[in-house]
Amino acid sequence: MKVIRKVDELREYSIEQRSKGKTVGFVPTMGFLHEGHVSLITRASLECDIVITSLFVNPTQFAPHEDFDSYPRDFEHDYNLAKNADCDVLFAPARGEMYPEGATTSLSVGDLAYVFEGKYRPHFFDGVATVVSKLFSAALPNKAFFGQKDYQQTLVVKALSRDMLMGVEIVVCPIVRETSGLAMSSRNKYLTDEEKSKAKILFQSLVATKEFIESSERNRKKINAFMHEYLRKLEILKIDYALAADAYNLSEPSEFEEGMDVVLLLGTILGKTRLIDNMVVKIPVSNYNEDERFQAGLK
């Protein structure tokens, strides 16, 4: 596995591989890799000839009060995990390589970036869009692989690739969870053992809400209220949002239609750790036999 630290070198490498007819897969990360990241690299290796994984803690998606300086970093750990997952190139640029002195350009992805997670972290998605565009410019991938855990981010990145004519296929991969159901995250390191045990309530609330919906509930406010009520069982959990929305555009209709894909989104804080999670649920379709349809038509 090669380690590349310069943008020009990575771009030249990718151009060379693509000129040979090879497909390039890209997995952008902020490092401190875990099994969730490994699953992305593995998926990329199955779908692409060459896999590039980036390690870069992006400063523009952190607010001044957030954990940029303390965000966990461990290059040797990341190198070994990526290599064992059949990664071909580890791209580990310095901050100055990605944000040269005097750089002032940034990207905005519009309304999608300022709701839900973006409401509480208004700087976040513009920072994501800016760094992803830089990384795509460096890696020149055919496909890029993102985890579903950051659901709103996947929609932002899809919009970025589409609107900026980047031509990168965005592949969204399933959430990888710990045995308790807690979604794997580099920030889980911040949790105490007790907090980690209690954090399983996030996944439990999603499962319970899925069952609530599958019992034929379609009213958005009732679904949201159910999630809030469930999460309030853990009094020390701060809830920024717990809501249901259209899985494709995050709109919030009063009633969800039959057959509609709905995403349940959670943004919470446990202790000092921000935890997000989500689950996509399909609104049930009513089943009628022909006699019921005929009788309904007579009424």
What would the pLDDT profile of 113-154 be if each residue is shown by its tens digit? Answer: 899 999 999 889 999 999 999 999 999 999 999 999 999 999
Give the predicted TM-score (pTM) of the model: 0.92
Q: pLDDT confidence of 101, banded at 50, 70, 90?
A: very high
What residues does CATH 3.30.1300.10 cover in the chain?
Answer: 186-282
Q: Is 29 exposed, middle or buried (0-12, 13-18, 19+ CB in 10 A)?
A: buried
For 188-217, what is each residue's pLDDT tens digit?
999 999 999 999 999 999 999 999 999 999
Q: Which of 58-72, 183-197, 205-219, 228-242 has the lowest mean pLDDT?
A: 58-72
Residue at 280: amino acid letter: V
What residues does CATH 3.40.50.620 cover in the chain?
Answer: 2-173
Run of H or E including 196: helix 193-198
Q: Hey, what's the torsion of the CAs at 195, 198, 203, 205, to 10 degrees?
A: -130
Residue 37 a catalytic site member: yes
Specify the CATH class of 2-173 in words.
alpha beta
What six digits make up the tokens of 218? Answer: 């379609």
Express as a percent the part of the chain with pLDDT over 90.
87
| φ/ψ bin of 216: left (φ > 0), alpha (ψ from -120 to 50), beta (otherwise) | left
CA distances from 245 to 70, 227, 255, 260, 289 (A): 33, 13, 10, 10, 30
More confident call, 110 vs 278: 278
Q: pLDDT confidence of 286, banded at 50, 70, 90?
A: confident
pLDDT at 297: 55
Active-site residue, selected from the candidate residues 37, 77, 123, 228:
37
Average pLDDT over residues 103-109: 89
Average pLDDT over residues 172-196: 96
Question: Which CATH homologous superfamily contains domain 186-282?
Answer: Pantoate-beta-alanine ligase, C-terminal domain (3.30.1300.10)
Contacts for 247 with CB less than 8 Å, ≥ 6 apart: 260, 261, 262, 263, 280
